[in-house]
Amino acid sequence: MSAAPRSRPRSVSTVGRNINCRNENGPFSVVRSAQQFYGQSKTADALFAVALDSIGRRQGVRAFAVHPGGIVTDLLRHMSQTEVDGYGILDKSGKPIIDPENNKKTPQQGAATTVWCATSPRLNGMGGVYCEDCDIARALPSDESQELHGVRPRAIDPVAAGRLWQLSEQLTGVSLD
């Protein structure tokens, strides 16, 4: 990391981090549904940024988790028509519904927050935060919150981030020390 001082790595998460992916064996155990797996992976993306920021800040590396918004991608091909209909992301003709206030964005609108995290002077000296809509996301009071915007505590928990980082090092055999 010392070769990239003052860098701002971004980890892209999504609204999937809101899916309750915890089960009886803890937050990093095997899940039983595609939706839970997606939620677990997007929560892990956010926790990665928290852990990387904690490790890299001494060397000027500040990491951010980014939620670009709901953008229709080819992931739809892995969803049933019932699931697609349930998300309300396509109109009757099959075209994406664009409604940024309700988290439905174009690819360009979604990319804006990633670019903002890389360039905004407002984030100078900061890191380990979750960003959405070209701003720092508001911390929600609980993991059970039903609000669409904001970040749940489980996605920015520094203890869980540290445990996930350690697990990643064990599984990959790679350490930044």
Q: Residue 176 region, left (φ>0) first, then alpha (ψ -120 to 50), else beta?
A: alpha
Separation between Cα atoms, residue 111 and residue 148, nearest integer Å: 19
Separation between Cα atoms, residue 41 and residue 102, nearest integer Å: 22
Neighbours of 24 (CB within 10 A): 5
Return the active site residues: 38
Tokens of 51: 């852990």
DSSP-derived secondary structure for 27-65:
TTS--SSHHHHHHHHHHHHHHHHHHHHHHHGGGT---EE
